[in-house]
A and B are shown apart, each in its own frame.
Chain A
């Protein structure tokens, strides 16, 4: 081989005037995740018109989850803004807040599941409950994926040895975080309205 791989990678990543490939990949990936939840929620609609379907009230802790994830969306956006203005201390603080809110979201979800379960609405008791556990649980898995990414970003933000000047990863995680937020709102409204 007569040329340099390291040099080429710079060339590969060079975005020219188009959207950065990593951001674009995320958008396509979001399309894919949307299809999965579209499949699940359509299955829910089909099932609900059939026999033996019990309705349920949304556990109150789901509403707390909603507040938490909305706040975290705001904080992640502020942290992107701070990063762009090169206010790195502020960025690190806001990243930490987002991470903590993300963890809090998972905690409130667990409490909601526990309350729901203890009220007799167990996984196997009725198909409608099974759907709630699967759909909300899969969303929570996507949030946990985001929390892992946020943890990495936060650790990097506090690292003193590494230089941190690439905005793309920050924008990618914030877009993803907004997406799981929007997805949660959709699922909540869906489960609330369609009984």
Chain B
């Protein structure tokens, strides 16, 4: 820091609040077009919460169809108009709801809402930087996301409805406007919205990587970074390298849709008429899509892993077990994430030899995953555990990651996958391991860093109710789906009551739908808690409420733009000095004493 900067800061500190009114920000620059990473993080979080409510509500609505295929619900017609004529969800809109549920939750909530929130919030605070490398790009990243949100939201209100070809938008269904209602303008809006979304996540990712590699405070070597930062770093690398490939696939699809090219279309007959498209390959799209699509799974999962690692260590009052193994396994997962995409395509006409290669690479992911699980459990082992809400959610994350990860080993085998592909087994697998688990990581993060975000605590009683209902409910919803899937019940079907073989699951489907409704209601409890506590929550009175070692807790209780009023603290140790030399915890900015062993 230059001498002038120091002097200016000393000057401001001396004179306290009296002298800074000439730098007053307006409401617009402070809360709307803010360049402060903490405000941008909160914008991502609040937008993500709104999307989560919408996406969750969609799942409740289509679960009603699956649970009560023969009943009518007049309130549905009030809510959805002609999409639920006579109180019964129309098949076209059922597909639209499923598609939008996937799109919203995967991209808008668990990518932008999760990475956008915590990468923005934690990276500068935990590595000791005043802001991101480019606050301007960071602000643009949010506003591109906002634009993508507006476009996606508006597609819900067009007459032919939103995209309905599934969140994977496979052609030819997505490429031909006449293929279905949702393949018309809704699909175009989907593609444009996703293009904006890709721009947003690229701008964000560029910033995260640069900030982590370039802007760390003195003493913060890479090996002293908290695991959250490592995880967010690898997440950004995955995003920056895989989203452009999705973009190229989306561009080709836009050409096919609107300019008559044949990248993905060939020999198609619609209503007895042969289309002129020739020479295209629908499988090509699947390759391009899943080259993003699989890394995307880890874009969702890695931040949750990083935050859970941090929270488990803090609340076990123990150093994280196997720090370098944790970093190494994150790295291994990042590499493998790019090499397994075709396991989504075992039944779409892949060369069986190629399939066996992808089986091997897919099963290899179990190794770094198992290392991580082992390290989380050994971190908990004999810890002096504090069961804060954040801790419960982090433990819940580990539980879900194990349960959902194990079924991944089933699906990763191409021989088994032929039977299980596109059944409820797959639904159960990815909802547990990627959907709910990442949500648990996100909740853990919100409960843990809420005091730093808003200077207040969330209500703990509501948090405990939220946790227990959610974890029990999640298992009750998704565990039975494994059985349905093994019995061959296919995903994306509107109504199972006509099939002799699936009729017996009627009661089970009703049960799942009821639990889904309860779990959704409890999430609203969280939302109420979240917004109520911003203004009315118990105030934070100590700088370091969780007695954690990382740098964000050395800032004032409500840090301003720039994070530290004085100099940025210097780092002298790794972030996991818990229960060391008879001390409960030693923050990173405490110099190493003469009597302690060095890291």
Q: A25-B207, A28-B240, A39-B248 are in contact. Are A5 and B260 (CB under 8 A)?
A: no
B23 adjacent to A4 (CB under 8 Å): yes
B255 adjacent to A21 (CB under 8 Å): no
A29 located at the interface, meaning its Cβ lies under 8 Å from any Cβ of chain B in the complex: yes
A36 located at the interface, meaning its Cβ lies under 8 Å from any Cβ of chain B in the complex: yes
B206 adjacent to A36 (CB under 8 Å): no
Chain A nearest CB from B98 CB (Å) reads: 27
Q: A5-B562, A35-B244, A39-B244 are in contact. Are A28 and B130 (CB under 8 A)?
A: no
Q: Name the interface residues of B233-257: CB closer than 8 Å to any CB of A.
A: 240-245, 247-249, 251-252, 255
B130 adjacent to A12 (CB under 8 Å): yes
Q: A6-B23, A28-B209 are in contact. Are A124 and B134 (CB under 8 A)?
A: no
What does the 1/0 interface line of B121-149 toward A look like (CB < 8 Å)?
A: 00000000111011101000000000000
B248 adjacent to A12 (CB under 8 Å): no
Interface residues on B, range: 35 or more
Binding-face segment, B109-117, B279-287, B380-388, B463-471? B279-287
Chain B nearest CB from A137 CB (Å) reads: 9
Give the number of chain A interface residues (Cβ < 8 Å): 44
Cβ contact of A47, chosen from B131, B135, B281, cutoff 8 A: B281
What does the 1/0 interface line of A125-144 toward B look like (CB < 8 Å)?
A: 01100110010001000000
B206 adjacent to A4 (CB under 8 Å): no
Cβ contact of B263, chosen from A35, A51, A130, cutoff 8 A: A130
B255 adjacent to A130 (CB under 8 Å): yes
Chain B nearest CB from A46 CB (Å) reads: 6
Chain A nearest CB from B26 CB (Å) reads: 13
Chain A nearest CB from B280 CB (Å) reads: 6
B9 adjacent to A4 (CB under 8 Å): yes
Residues of chain B within 8 A (CB-CB) of A24 are 133, 210, 213-214
Main secondary structure of the interface of A (DSSP, over half): helix
A8 adjacent to B207 (CB under 8 Å): no
A18 located at the interface, meaning its Cβ lies under 8 Å from any Cβ of chain B in the complex: yes
A53 to B281, CA, bound (A): 12
Cβ contact of A134, chosen from B129, B207, B242, B252, cutoff 8 A: B252
B279 adjacent to A126 (CB under 8 Å): yes
B591 located at the interface, meaning its Cβ lies under 8 Å from any Cβ of chain A in the complex: no
Q: A14-B1, A21-B133, A127-B262 are in contact. Are A4 and B12 (CB under 8 A)?
A: yes
B259 adjacent to A11 (CB under 8 Å): no
A3 adjacent to B565 (CB under 8 Å): yes
Q: A3-B562, A25-B133, A123-B259 are in contact. Are A134 and B214 (CB under 8 A)?
A: no
Closest to B243 in A: A32
Residues of chain B within 8 A (CB-CB) of A12 are 129-131, 133, 135, 215
B288 adjacent to A32 (CB under 8 Å): no
Residues of chain A within 8 A (CB-CB) of B213 are 24
A19 located at the interface, meaning its Cβ lies under 8 Å from any Cβ of chain B in the complex: yes
Closest to B36 in A: A5
A39 to B134, CA, bound (A): 28
Q: A2-B13, A18-B214 are in contact. Are A7 and B5 (CB under 8 A)?
A: yes
Q: Name the interface residues of B559-587: CB closer than 8 Å to any CB of A.
A: 560-562, 565
A35 adjacent to B241 (CB under 8 Å): yes
B261 adjacent to A130 (CB under 8 Å): yes
A161 located at the interface, meaning its Cβ lies under 8 Å from any Cβ of chain B in the complex: no
B70 located at the interface, meaning its Cβ lies under 8 Å from any Cβ of chain A in the complex: no
A5 adjacent to B561 (CB under 8 Å): yes
B541 located at the interface, meaning its Cβ lies under 8 Å from any Cβ of chain A in the complex: no
Q: Name the interface residues of B95-120: CB closer than 8 Å to any CB of A.
A: none
Residues of chain B within 8 A (CB-CB) of A126 are 279
B133 adjacent to A22 (CB under 8 Å): yes
A4 to B2, CA, bound (A): 14
Residues of chain A within 8 A (CB-CB) of B240 are 28, 31-32, 35
Per CB-CB distance, the 6 closest pairs between chain A and chain B, nearest first, are A1-B560, A36-B244, A52-B279, A21-B133, A39-B245, A130-B261
Known contacts A11-B2, A29-B202; 9 additional CB pairs below 8 A are A1-B23, A3-B565, A32-B240, A35-B242, A36-B247, A51-B279, A127-B262, A134-B252, A138-B248
7 contacts between A and B (CB under 8 A): A7-B9, A24-B214, A35-B241, A35-B244, A39-B244, A46-B284, A134-B252
